[in-house]
Structure formats: C-alpha cells, structure tokens
Amino acid sequence: MTRGEAAVALGSFGACLISVFMQMIDVTIVTTALPVITGELGASQSQQLWLVAGYSLAFACVLLSAARLGAILGRRLMFLWSAVAFTLASLWCGMSDSAMELVVARVVQGVAGAGMAAQTIAVITAAFRRDHQPYAFAAYGATAGFAGMLGPIVAGALVTLNPFGLGWHVIFLMNLPLGVLAIGLAMKYLRIGPAPQRPPLDLRGSAIATAALFLLLFALSDSQHGGWRPAHGAYLVAALTLGGLFVTYERATRRRGGIALVRLDLFGDKGFAVGSVLVTIFFGLFTAFVFTVSILLQDVLHFSVLRTGAAMTPFAIGAGVGALISPILVHRFGIRVLAAGVAFFGCWVAVGVGYLYIGDGAVNLALVTGPVFLAGFGVGVFGVPLQPIMLAGLDDRDMGEASGLLPTVEQIGNSVGLAVLSALFFRAHTLTGSMTMLSAIAVTALGLGVLTLALPDRRTLGATPWSRNTAA
C-alpha cells in the first residue's frame, strides 16, 4: 500500500469511526440525561421512552434500504448526505423546546444515522486489504462500544458543568464539530462510487422489510410505557407474517435471477449465522444494562448526573482495556476468550446484585470501582472480536451485502433489550425491580457465554497485521 493509498484508507476509516461514535453516544447520552430533559420539557413517560426508542426504531427500519441506495448512488454520496442530515438533525435536537419536537428530531436523526451506518462495512472492505480488515472491524466495534459506555460519563459532565448555559441541549450540539469533521474527511478521502452494475432498489422488498421491522420494533417499544396489550400481540403476529413473506419474496427474486434486498444465503455461513444471534442478544443485553444502571442510580438511588457518570467511568475504562488485549487473547486461545469474557461480565453483575441486596441500596463508589472495572473488562473482551470473527468467512462481495444487514440485527437487539427492560423494570421502578433486571442480565450473559462456543474458531486476530506480515 502506497502512502497515498494509506492516507485514503485512514481518512475514509476516520470518517466511519466518527460517524459510529456519534451514532452510539447519542443513545446512551440521552438515557443518562433523560431525567433532566424530562424535568425541563415536562415529557410524559411515553415521550421519555420515545426519545430513546424513536431513534433506534427509525435507524433499524431504514438500514436495509439505505445499504442498497448506497450501492446505487455510491457509498460516498450516500455517506455525505447522511452525515450532513445527521449533523443538522443534531442541531435541531439541540434547539428543540418541546418534548414532541425533540422526539421528531430524534427520529430524523435516526434515519440519517442509518444512512451512514449502512455504508460502513462496504467502506472498510474497499479501504483495507483482506488481511487488515479484521483489525479495522475490531477498531470500529471498539469505538462503537466505547461511545456507548462513554455516553453516561459525558452526559454527567456536560449537564453538571452546563457550558455556555446550554443545559441538556449541549449533549446534541456537541455533534456539530464531530459531524463537520466527518463530512470533511469523507469529502477528501472517501472514493467509493456506485456499484458497477447499479442494482435497482427493490421497492416491494423494501416496503415489506420496512413494514415488518416497524411493526416488530413498534410493538416492543410501545409496550414499554403502557404495558403489554392484545394489540401488541397482533403487531408481532403481523410482523412475523410479513417477515415470512419477505423471506419467500427474496428467495423468489433470487430464483428469477433478480437482485434481492437481502442475501439470505449469507446465513449459510455458520460464523455469520451464529454471530447474528450473538450480536442480537449482546446488543439487547448491553442496552438494557446501561439503561438499567442509569435509571437505578439516578431515579432509585438519587445520584446526581455527575455522580452517575463517575460511577460508570471504571466500566468504560475496563472495557477499553479489554478491547485492547482481546485480539491478542483471541489469536492465542480462540473463541473461548469471547465466551469467558461475557461470562465474566455476568459474574460481576451478579456480584453487584448481591452488594445491592446486602447494603439495601447503599453504594460506596470507592468500594465498587474494582467490580465495575472488571465487568467492563469482560464486555470489552467479548464485544470487540465478535464482529471480525463473524465476518471472517465472507468474501469482499458478501461484506458489501452485509452492510445493511448487520446493523439491522444490532438495532433489533437494542429494541428487544429495551422491551425486556420495560417488562422487568419500569413497572417496579424500585430497588427490587433494579435487582431483578440486573439478575436477568447476569443470567443472560452466562447463557450467552455458552452459546458463543458454537462460533467457528477463526483465529483471525493477532497482535498487529504488520507484525504478522513481517514474520511472513
């Protein structure tokens, strides 16, 4: 790779990293600042949940179509327009003066975020050689995870410090310089144009997929504030019916020689199939954990926003340490490292539940720093290598087809996590409810560790790609 090619690859990758940072931090940063936003805007419980779920709902429903539009219009053009829209939507969020306006702005932000996210896998595949791609995906996954964990810390600091007297508005306005930087990098370095064959956008397939995802995620989201009702069962039945229709339609399209919206044969690869299940569960688990801890600390234990951020800081640091060493551990010991990492997280969450029970909710931050750090360490060890191992069996063409599919799976996991959180936590909203949710998270994490052992043992991650090439 020449110096110019390296600059293009790193510049394109930088734009992707900034975009995923903005997308992920805007989920958990809102979660932590939600009590403050609610107090100022007078948001109802329904509006509170839609401030979080509306973003994820819009994001997930648009991803598959956005990935295909990227192939038709060009990844560069789609990424640029989406980055501009996301930045402007962030400005709109920061200027909102009513709860409903903020909900609408968040939905627009979710649509724009999907436009960026749906291009990422294709961009990384085009920018890096095959032997370097696992490290790029690992760095991308680490950035996404770190941003999600950094949200509560940044929210706590910004809301407490109140820079320029902007209050909670600053948590959205901070995206403006990041968005401008991502746009600048993409304009200068991103080179991917339309696909050579210009595959058409399958409007019928897109409509079926969007309707199925919307009904599924709407049922899960709406049940969070009003409890489960018969209508939600009807929505889920309709979603599953449309999902089955979509699969049948996509297979028929492939048999006719057409270009399907989703390459269902990707699930024929064991790593991708098992990885999709793991990603769905993990993202649901992580979303539920961050949301539960944030609401527990602020609403149940009455921590300030700043103290909540301080309590979560060891978790983020632990995840960062785990992310750094996980590629080396996976190269040495294989997928057992991932299984051990998520089980380790579950064990320390269980320890936390025991601590809350014994102390009746009294929390000494100095005493819990170590366990919180170790729980984050387990998340970092599991989450970072998962995507590279999952994608290792796909060729470059398949990687492009996975651009919209993988983020869609992740967003379904997010919504499922929030729905389960609603059923176990929001109705109780007490210390007992919090411990119930955290206990469920711990048990699920241990089960996820067992399921991880079904992954193919693809030891694709070493210390660095450069050291490997040198050895060769």
**Reported pTM:** 0.80
Instruction: Give 118's contacts (C-beta < 8 A, 6+ positions apart).
Output: 62, 63, 64, 66, 67, 69, 70, 78, 403, 404, 407
Contact 388, 266 (CB under 8 A): no
Closest by alpha carbon to 158, among 150, 244, 295? Answer: 150
d(CA 267, CA 252): 17
Position 346 scores a pLDDT of 95
Spatial contact of 120 and 79, defined as CB atoms under 8 Å apart: no
Q: How many CA atoms within 13 Å lie on the side-chain side of 210?
A: 15
- Residue 427, helix vs strand vs coil: coil
DSSP conformation letters of 318-350: HHHHHHHHHHHHHHHHTTHHHHHHHHHHHHHHH
Please tell me the total number of residues recorded for the chain in this structure.
Answer: 472
**Dihedral class, residue 81 (left if φ above 0, else alpha if ψ from -120 to 50, else beta):** alpha
Both tokens of 172, joined, read 């959205």
Query: CB-based burial of residue 167 (10 Å sphere; 0-12 exposed, 13-18 middle, 19+ buried)?
Result: middle
pLDDT on residue 308: 79
Rg, Å, the chain Cα set: 21
- Residue 364 CA to residue 373 CA, distance in Å, equals 14
Structural contact between residues 222 and 233, judged by C-beta atoms closer than 8 angstroms: no
Mean pLDDT for back-to-back runs of 10 residues, the chain (472 residues): 79 92 84 82 79 82 86 89 96 93 94 91 83 79 77 78 86 94 93 70 86 83 69 89 92 82 82 89 84 81 80 86 86 90 95 89 85 92 85 75 75 70 58 84 93 80 38 30
Q: DSSP letters of 131-182?
A: TTHHHHHHHHHHHHHHHHHHHHHHHHHHHHH-GGG-GGGHHHHTHHHHHHHH
DSSP 457: -
> Would you say 217 and 62 are in contact if contact means Cβ atoms under 8 Å apart?
no
CB 242 within 8 A of CB 215: yes
Query: What's residue 93's pLDDT?
Result: 95
Q: What is the pLDDT of residue 422?
A: 57
